[in-house]
Amino acid sequence: MMRAALALARRSLGRTWPNPAVGCVIERDGQVIARGRTRDGGRPHAEADAIAEAAKAGVSLEGATAYVTLEPCAHHGRTPPCADALVSAGVARVVSALEDPDPRVKGQGHARLKAAGIAVEVGEGAADAAQINAGFLRRVREGRPLFHLKMAGSLDGRIATASGESKWITGPAARQDGHRLRAIHDAILVGAATAAADDPDLTCRLPGLRSYSPVRIVLDSQARLSPTSRLATSARATPVWLVCTKDAPADRRDRLAGLGVEIVEVDVGTDGRIDVAAAAQALGTRGLTRVLVEGGGHVAASFLKAGLVDGISSYRAGLILGGDGRSAVGGLEFARLGSAPRFRLVSARQLQGDTLETWRRED
Ligand code: AOF
Ligand code: ZN
């Protein structure tokens, strides 16, 4: 039952920020009688979604067991607390994967259920739930979202030939999977150089997933993004956030803001570029929980250097581009192995002739 609840939670990833993606399965006598998950924009919560489904079908939840991937909330938001809703519905037992670190909840949801005489068990599926909620947990605990780095390159880790040719290194299956990766993140981030060179859409082009596109973020200290770029001209349809410094000229900022681009001003780092740690905090403050970093090499390097990369998806094609090709991570050098960031392999898959490896940072 918990596994089913975790699967439901996964289906909401990338669509619920600033809230976590939670799943809920309600069972009686071994039969699932209701299921729910956090809906787009974070409301309704998973439990409320499941309870509403049961009410719609005229099913009583009296004496049932609810499996939830995160502690039911205890605070009054736009609707009453989920803990109270479960009590009113007559649920007899709650199996919860993880305590919610949000200071408004933090054990109080479980306590409310217990006070109402409901049997509460905490911890089943905790590791998976922590993984699904990793972005939300980072934001609540550290004020910043999770950052996941996407890399696509050759067998020898290059992203372009000596002459700069870089299109279609990986095949169609890998590119399609890149859209799946976008869909499970709240936002996609690129640097100003990539935005200028590729004029990307950064939308999520998967059948059935067009309804909810991630926020598009450009790290652009001088606000150089062209007002005629695909990003700027579509900012009213799908949000674009431009992260710049106070040095960015006011006329360029205003022009972009007039097109619907949201301007996020952050501090200048020691190298004269954007301070990525400050950018990370600013994005967390705005509610993001999961950000996919798509390039280019300098942006990847600065996030790695700042210790902000939590995971990596590495797509690799069976090509050798050689030493003159550009590296997927530019401008990053470590003298010693001990100081290089280290990642642990989580999964490896074949995508037609390419591979996808998923790596997670060792903390
Ligand atoms: C749940 N079930 O499905 C989710 C929860 O702003 P509000 O009122 O929607 O509350 C947001 C908080 O609720 C969020 O920070 C987290 O603690 C919790 N999210 N809780 O019981 C859910 N998404
Ligand atoms: Zn709730």
| Cα 100 to ligand 1 centroid, rounded to whole Å | 9
Which residues sit with Cβ closer than 5 angstroms to ligand 2, an ion? 45, 73, 82
Residue 326's pLDDT is what? 75
Say yes or no to pLDDT of 78 above 60. yes
Give the contacts of 9 (CB within 8 A, at least 6 positions apart): 21, 22, 23, 37, 38, 46, 69, 129, 132, 133
Q: What is the mean pLDDT of residues 140-157?
A: 95
In this structure, the residue with its CA closest to atom 20 of ligand 1 is 73
Residue 225's pLDDT is what? 98
Q: Which of the four pLDDT bands, split at 50, 70 and 90, describes residue 163? A: confident
Whether the Cβ atoms of residue 46 and residue 24 lie closer than 8 Å to each other: yes
Instruction: Tell me the per-residue pLDDT of 281-321, one tens digit each, with 9 for 90 and over.
Output: 999 999 999 999 998 888 999 999 999 999 999 999 999 98
Matching residue, tokens 């450009």: 218
Q: Which is the catalytic residue, given 47, 71, 124, 294?
A: 47
Give the contacts of 187 (CB within 8 A, at least 6 positions apart): 145, 214, 215, 216, 217, 241, 283, 288, 290, 291, 292
In this structure, the residue with its CA closest to atom 18 of ligand 1 is 73
Q: Which of the four pLDDT bands, split at 50, 70 and 90, describes residue 213? A: confident
Burial class (CB in 10 A: 0-12, 13-18, 19+), 36: buried
Spatial separation of the C-alpha atoms in residues 82 and 101, rounded to whole Å: 16
Ligand 1 pocket, CB under 6 A: 19-20, 22, 38, 42-43, 45-47, 70, 72-73, 77-78, 82, 100, 102, 105
Ligand 1: which of 22, 45, 75, 84 to mutate, most ligand atoms within 8 Å of CB? 45
Spatial separation of the C-alpha atoms in residues 291 and 189, rounded to whole Å: 7
Q: Which stretches of 116-173 are assigned E, i.e. beta strand? A: 119-122, 146-154
| Cα 326 to ligand 1 centroid, rounded to whole Å | 43
Give the closest residue to 312 by CA, choosing from 131, 151, 170: 151
Q: What is the mean pLDDT of residues 156-160?
A: 85
117 backbone φψ class: left, alpha, beta (φ>0; ψ -120 to 50): left
47 labelled catalytic: yes
| Cα 22 to ligand 1 centroid, rounded to whole Å | 9
Least confident of 22-26, 96-100, 207-211, 324-328: 207-211
Say yes or no to pLDDT of 61 above 60. yes
In this structure, the residue with its CA closest to atom 4 of ligand 1 is 45
How far is the CA of 163 from the CAs of 151, 189, 204, 219, in angstroms? 20, 26, 30, 26
157 backbone φψ class: left, alpha, beta (φ>0; ψ -120 to 50): left
H or E element at residue 239: none
Angle at 243 between CA 330 and CA 166, to 5 degrees: 35
Buried b (16+ CB within 10 A) or exposed e, 303-337: bbbbebbbbbbbbbbebebeeebbbbbbebeeeee
Spatial separation of the C-alpha atoms in residues 94 and 130, rounded to whole Å: 18
Whether the Cβ atoms of residue 142 and residue 134 lie closer than 8 Å to each other: no
Supply 266's token pair: 């952050």
Size (the chain), residues: 363
Give the closest residue to 216 by CA, choosing from 234, 198, 228: 234
| Cα 41 to ligand 2 centroid, rounded to whole Å | 13
Spatial separation of the C-alpha atoms in residues 46 and 198, rounded to whole Å: 39
Q: Which stretches of the chain are assigned E, i.e. beta strand? A: 23-28, 31-37, 65-68, 93-96, 119-122, 146-154, 187-191, 215-219, 240-244, 262-265, 290-295, 311-317, 343-351, 354-361
Residue 80's pLDDT is what? 86
Ligand 1: which of 73, 112, 186 to mutate, most ligand atoms within 8 Å of CB? 73
Q: What is the mean pLDDT of residues 120-142?
A: 97
pTM of structure:
0.95
Ranked by mean pLDDT, the top range of 73-82, 161-170, 259-268 is 259-268
Least confident of 73-77, 327-331, 349-353: 327-331
Whether the Cβ atoms of residue 259 and residue 227 lie closer than 8 Å to each other: yes
Higher pLDDT, 260 or 298: 260
Q: Which of the four pLDDT bands, split at 50, 70 and 90, describes residue 258? A: very high
Q: Which of the four pLDDT bands, split at 50, 70 and 90, describes residue 325? A: low
